[in-house]
Structure 1
Amino acid sequence: MEWSDEQRSFVAAVREFCSREAGTRAQRQELTDGGREPHSPELYRKLADLGWLGLSLPEEFGGGGAGMVELCLFLEETARAMAPIGGFTTSIITAAAYERFGSPEQKKLILSGVARGVIEAIAMSEPEAGSDVANLSCRAERRGDEFVVNGQKTWCSNAHLAEHILLVARTSGRAGDHTGLTMFLVPTSTPGLTITGIETMGGREVNDLYFTDCVLPADAVVGEIDQGWRQLMAGLNMERLILASVMLGTAQRAFDDVVDYVKNRRQFRRPIGAFQVIRHRLADLATEIECARLLVYTTAGQVDRAPGTVLPRETSMAKLKATETARRVALDAMQMMGGYGYATEFDMERLVRSSVVSTVYGGTSEIQREIIAKTYGLTEQLQ
């Protein structure tokens, strides 16, 4: 890709920062309680002080006013460095929803907070509604000037770190309807909200949320009542490109690490990278990474040129390609490293875990394929 001098300088600055602050495994272990916490508040504060957490947010809220391309560059570079800032993705995705649909007061609270380093989270999935978002049943019932929320959310990333939850709940209709969904701003300190962590291979990342007679004021509504589905669709460009950029950086890191390994690991009196079977596998992986990179940044450029346009085909392709590529690269790299790729004292096993789950969150690979197919007029005909 061709970058401007300013973009190249920005990438170099991010790379230097990550190398200095989290460039060694020992540093990352110290920042993450031995790898158990994907997010380091200490490192996050330093990024906030540099102004990078608000990179893509409006200047009036303390942001940098940069575009999607610059945000993707930041995400790719920090992911390649394995910088433990797991709270950033949900925060910037959530901030974008408030930027588009929030009231002036909500924008000031959330956008300026994200720029300062406040973590935000969004709650959509439920035990019976994952890929099928229309099946949401967590309900917010109108009672006078308030809403009373009851129900459960699950797999909510970073809720345990967040100051607020962007809740998507049903305000009318029944489960299975795309209409009748509404977004709400819910402080995590709200009575009636319980946050319970879910143990995963990635450490403390996701949570169950339980709402029991949780009372919200009328001004907690984000956007319009019953228009949550339309509002969610408007944010797909950013969400998919954010996830694609993170996995692009993850794929590059796995590739860089395995190349370094095969150049130094000797078997049968020569480096294993000298064997044709290894060389050709790595050539294929490098090609796939570059294909993913071109797709991600071409799509990001389209978003910057037409910010209000939803690009379901292109963004789904970018998310599908980047996450599937990251998974393939990490799994192949683990095999080429043998037992060292499997051992927890090396980074590769972490890269494998994060890349495998990337094909599930934010819309599974199967859902992305369905979306792409529909843009070509290919739909299943129900009998």
Structure 2
Amino acid sequence: MVNFTDEQRAFAQAVADFCARESGSREQRDALTDNGRELHSQELYSKMAKLGWTGILVPEEYGGAGAGNVEMCILLEEAMRGNAPIGGIGPTLITAAAYAKFADEQLKKEVLTGVADGDSLAISMSEPEAGSDVAALTCRAEKVDGGWVINGQKTWCSNAHFAKSILLIARTSRSGSKHEGLTQFHIPAGTEGLEIKGIDTLGGREVNDLYFTDVRVPDSAVVGKVDNGWNQLMAGLNTERLILAAMQLGVAERSFSDTLAFVSERKQFGRPVGSFQALRHRIADHATEIEATKLLVYSVAEQSDADPTRLLPREASMAKLKATETSKKMTIDAMQMMGGYGYATEFDAERLMRGAIISTVYGGTNEIQRDIIGKTYGL
């Protein structure tokens, strides 16, 4: 059991109550998401912003809560467990953390104040030939008088179709190793020369292709230092992987509670199906896995809060790996235990499963996470 403070327990309950009230029924969620076609409801997100939650990590001087990673994980866990359709929150928090660390004062004020007010952000790294190997990207930013000109294609960019701005990772130099010569740029929505095209997926409208054609940005668009983008990305991995882990912990818990309710009520052969040993043991295994995952996620959050400058490559990768694999297994098994009802769109099981499966791919595939963990042991 995680030892939360009284304030943290009260916060968790407040988020749970909000989700139950605002998006607790299928009818409410359908109304907020165009019958499930959209993963992010700005209407609901704006209500969270008024409560100070979207700026959970934003420093107080920019209108945020100035809270730590533990509180962030509480928010994400409870929101996902409560089925809140705010799919844009993960990429937004990941991107906001980068601005908080590396942007100049003017850009921090603009972007972080907006996040606290309910703006969404996107971060664009992947390219058609640069997915797991991010350092192989070729989208090019060339220096010109007073600014930069950007050309190239990006892909799999979450939030880009509704984000206030995009944090772009582009190549600015080819000197040194391939990890050198990368720079982060602030690209406001509607920038001339930027085309955004949605990618059809099983999960609805979520990710996009981005096309940059002679996109001009001023020198002030550089976030951090020129050619230092890789080091800046590495500095944000603790937060990124914690965000993904906390969200999938909440998904696993939601799937578990829905499945438990179903197998407790559904009867076959004159008794609840959950009373049969095959299902009872599976439920016991999942409950144990979820508890172990929660302890790991919050342990990493506490370590990161204790020393924000400390990189936790092993622990953060373990948290992302464990949470997403647990969520995937829980949601797949939920469909099996619910039978045909798990496959029907009338229930949430199939939607939870789709989201859990893709979570093992984004934010660094789980194969990459295993490779990172293995390297920390000298392998």
TM-score range, shorter chain: over 0.9
Contact 2:57 2:97 in 1 (8 A): no
Cα root mean square deviation, aligned: 0.9
Deviation at 1:41, TM superposition (A): 1.0
Alignment partner, residue 308 of structure 2: 307
Q: TM-score, normalised by structure 2?
A: 0.99
Deviation at 1:175, TM superposition (A): 11
- How far, CA to CA, are the matches of 1:259 and 1:251 in structure 2? 12
* Distance 1:158-1:174 versus aligned 2 partners, 3 A rule: farther
Equivalent pairs counted in the alignment come to: 378
Alignment partner, residue 33 of structure 2: 32
> What percent of counterpart residues are identical?
62
- How far, CA to CA, are the matches of 1:20 and 1:317 in structure 2? 34
Contact 2:185 2:222 in 1 (8 A): yes
Contact 2:251 2:327 in 1 (8 A): yes
- How far, CA to CA, are the matches of 2:159 and 2:190 in structure 1? 15
Greater alpha carbon shift after TM alignment, 47-56 vs 248-257: 47-56
Which amino acid letter does the alignment assign opposite residue 224 of structure 2? Answer: G
Which amino acid letter does the alignment assign opposite residue 101 of structure 1? Answer: F
Alignment partner, residue 108 of structure 2: 107
SS at 1:194 equivalent? strand
Alignment partner, residue 199 of structure 2: 198
Alignment partner, residue 381 of structure 1: none
Alignment partner, residue 24 of structure 2: 23
Which amino acid letter does the alignment assign opposite residue 27 of structure 2? Answer: A
Alignment partner, residue 255 of structure 2: 254
SS at 1:203 equivalent? coil
Deviation at 1:19, TM superposition (A): 0.4
Q: TM-score, normalised by structure 1?
A: 0.98
Alignment partner, residue 42 of structure 1: 43
SS at 2:207 equivalent? strand
- How far, CA to CA, are the matches of 1:230 and 1:41 in structure 2? 33
Alignment partner, residue 168 of structure 1: 169
Written as runs of structure 1 = structure 2, the 5 A alignment for 1:131-150 is 131-150=132-151
Written as runs of structure 1 = structure 2, the 5 A alignment for 1:201-220 is 201-220=202-221
Which amino acid letter does the alignment assign opposite residue 180 of structure 2? Answer: T
Contact 2:181 2:228 in 1 (8 A): yes
- How far, CA to CA, are the matches of 1:308 and 1:25 in structure 2? 42
Alignment partner, residue 241 of structure 1: 242
SS at 2:205 equivalent? strand
Contact 1:135 1:175 in 2 (8 A): no
* Distance 1:260-1:176 versus aligned 2 partners, 3 A rule: farther
* Distance 1:129-1:176 versus aligned 2 partners, 3 A rule: farther
Alignment partner, residue 321 of structure 2: 320
Contact 1:134 1:175 in 2 (8 A): no
Contact 1:136 1:175 in 2 (8 A): no
Deviation at 1:57, TM superposition (A): 1.2
Alignment partner, residue 228 of structure 1: 229
Alignment partner, residue 356 of structure 2: 355
- How far, CA to CA, are the matches of 1:174 and 1:200 in structure 2? 37
Deviation at 1:350, TM superposition (A): 0.4
Contact 1:136 1:176 in 2 (8 A): no
- How far, CA to CA, are the matches of 1:155 and 1:55 in structure 2? 26
